[in-house]
């Protein structure tokens, strides 16, 4: 082919491509993130307005909590029966004031097995109204170390993925484009000083933003060390000159931004770090709104007791007290709050509140009973109108843990890590009937289960947020689905009980 002919053909091909690009689309365009098709949405009447997530760090034992099938392990003293007749269980029930039967029938799972709730969710069991809004989700993955399982549980993405983003980032990004003040703080992660003794780097998945801008990052607050934080919200370094300082900083930023524009088009070049800086500096000008969300009383030390043990500073109780305040404040209530439960008294091995490699019964009893007692304290009872308590019609509570515990013993009194079939739970929001989604067989392995990503997707759908997009999730995160709508409908049906 002659050179002139080749160039002519290439030019014609380019023109054809341009014409196709400019022509009206003959196929449906890609849906913008957050824009949901009506057929795959939670009905408006059932939709939650906010999410409270409790991350039960370390791995809750499913047999003594949310998923116990008494027939499993009966013949060889495993599963629930591993410690059912032990003196440790009797002592824990007595110390925690649990006089109810150890197990309570709840609902059938996907295999038709009657699932029972264990003794250490007694605070929930005592409220029949809460059981009517409880849905247990059997979950499965194959990452046994905490270091890998925690980011997966909190983001639905494996460690190292550039798209690791906590649930708070997804929610903040969505609502920043819906509310009148796009810079408002809508997502919070509440921690305690005991978090420093566990897998702190992996827990950073809660505040990770993945592909989102810095403005989507949840505000991380350590509740038992926040006195200085409250003082700094008053911006004492600038005092009465705050407005002048903000104007000067904005002027310098505008001058720098002018140097980042293409001369011909005046479009800003792509500069993610500068965008993050602008978001951070803009947030500094809004601390007055944060001062209305926090006050010194929010961080006053709170003493606590659990199962016969007392502490001078109950960090979990403080976190839940502040979470209720953030979710119920009248001016700008939070859309997402996560409480990182690292234990009433953290375990000695540094694995978090529920990492019961030894002394399984005492550890699970002390920490889970206490956390659920404090949670229930801040949920409205039927007919109660307390404005500072959580309304389950408005708030979906998500109980997340990175994995469960083995059906067989570790050592004499412990259980090891078990990601192959464990329980997470949804409470309130669109949940209107008690149910169990998924199932484990007699080997304790899940035969029907959700992925960690599906629990994230379910929480977003509960808020009316479409979860599929380049920064968030895709069809492959919902096994068996072949389209976004089918994936959403599957999660609605199996995780939230909405057909």
Q: What is the pLDDT of residues 63-117, one digit of tens each?
A: 999 999 999 999 999 999 999 999 999 999 999 999 999 999 999 999 999 999 9
- With a cut of 50, say whether residue 22 has pLDDT above it: no
Residues 6+ apart with CB under 8 A from 166: 154, 155, 189, 205, 206, 207, 208, 209, 218, 338
Q: What is the pLDDT of residues 365-423, one digit of tens each?
A: 999 999 999 999 999 999 999 999 999 999 999 999 999 999 999 999 999 999 999 99
Q: What is the pLDDT of residues 334-350, one digit of tens each?
A: 999 999 998 987 776 76
| Interatomic CA distance for residues 79 and 73, integer angstroms | 5
pLDDT at 3: 47
pLDDT at 176: 84
| Interatomic CA distance for residues 38 and 36, integer angstroms | 6
- With a cut of 60, say whether residue 24 has pLDDT above it: no
- With a cut of 90, say whether residue 352 has pLDDT above it: no
Query: What is the rounded average pLDDT of the residues 111-127?
Result: 98
DSSP H helix total and E strand total for the chain = 15, 16
Query: Could you give the C-alpha distances from 44 to 40, 429, 430, in angstroms and in order?
Result: 12, 11, 10
Q: What is the pLDDT of residues 144-175, one digit of tens each?
A: 999 999 999 999 999 889 999 999 999 999 99
Alpha-carbon torsion, ordered 61, 67, 71, 73, to 10 deg: -20
| Interatomic CA distance for residues 499 and 497, integer angstroms | 7
The two structure tokens encoding residue 444: 């304790």
- With a cut of 50, say whether residue 7 has pLDDT above it: no
The two structure tokens encoding residue 377: 């304290």
Q: pLDDT exceeding 70 applies to what percent of the chain?
A: 90
**Sign, CA torsion 172/177/181/182:** positive
pLDDT at 16: 37
249 in Cβ contact with 281 (< 8 Å): yes
């Amino acid at each position: 082919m002659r050179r002139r002919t080749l160039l002519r053909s290439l030019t014609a091909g380019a023109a054809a491509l341009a014409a196709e690009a400019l022509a009206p689309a003959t196929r449906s365009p890609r849906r913008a993130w957050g824009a949901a098709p009506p057929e795959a949405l939670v009905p408006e009447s059932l939709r939650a307005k906010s999410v409270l997530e409790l991350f039960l760090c370390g791995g809750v034992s499913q047999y003594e909590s949310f998923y116990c099938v008494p027939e499993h392990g009966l013949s060889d003293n495993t599963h629930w029966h591993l410690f059912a007749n032990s003196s440790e269980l009797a002592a824990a029930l007595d110390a925690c004031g649990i006089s109810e039967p150890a197990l309570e029938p709840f609902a059938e799972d996907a295999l038709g097995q009657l699932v029972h709730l264990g003794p250490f969710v007694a605070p929930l069991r005592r409220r029949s109204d809460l059981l009517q809004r409880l849905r247990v989700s059997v979950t499965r993955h194959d990452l046994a170390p905490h270091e890998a399982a925690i980011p997966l549980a909190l983001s639905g993405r494996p460690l190292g993925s550039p798209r690791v983003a906590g649930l708070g980032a997804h929610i903040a990004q969505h609502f920043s484009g819906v509310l009148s003040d796009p810079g408002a703080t809508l997502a919070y992660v509440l921690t305690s000083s005991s978090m420093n003794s566990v897998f702190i780097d992996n827990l950073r998945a809660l505040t990770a933003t993945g592909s989102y801008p810095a403005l989507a990052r949840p505000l991380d607050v350590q509740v038992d060390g926040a006195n200085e934080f409250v003082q700094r919200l008053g911006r004492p370094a600038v005092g009465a000159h705050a407005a002048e300082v903000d104007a000067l900083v904005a002027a310098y930023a505008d001058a720098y931004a002018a140097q980042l524009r293409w001369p011909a088009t005046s479009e800003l070049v792509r500069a993610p770090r500068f965008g993050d800086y602008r978001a951070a500096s803009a947030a500094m000008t809004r601390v007055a709104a944060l001062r209305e969300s926090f006050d010194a009383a929010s961080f006053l030390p709170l003493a606590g007791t659990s199962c016969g043990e007392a502490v001078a500073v109950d960090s979990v109780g403080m976190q839940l007290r502040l979470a209720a305040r953030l979710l119920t404040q009248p001016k700008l209530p939070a859309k997402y709050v996560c409480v990182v439960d690292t234990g009433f008294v953290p375990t000695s091995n540094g694995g978090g509140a529920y990492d019961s490699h030894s002394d399984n019964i005492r550890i699970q009893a002390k920490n889970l009973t206490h956390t659920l007692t404090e949670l229930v304290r801040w949920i409205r009872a039927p007919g109660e109108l307390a404005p500072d308590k959580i309304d389950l019609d408005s708030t979906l509570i998500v109980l997340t843990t990175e994995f469960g515990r083995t059906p067989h013993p570790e050592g004499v009194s412990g259980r090891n890590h078990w990601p192959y079939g464990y329980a997470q739970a949804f409470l309130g929001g669109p949940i209107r009937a008690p149910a169990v989604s998924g199932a484990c067989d007699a080997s304790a392995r899940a035969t029907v289960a959700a992925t960690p990503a599906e629990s994230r997707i379910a929480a977003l759908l509960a808020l009316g947020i479409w979860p599929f997009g380049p920064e968030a999730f895709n069809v492959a995160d919902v096994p068996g689905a072949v389209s976004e709508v089918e994936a959403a409908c599957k999660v609605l049906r199996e995780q939230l009980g909405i057909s």
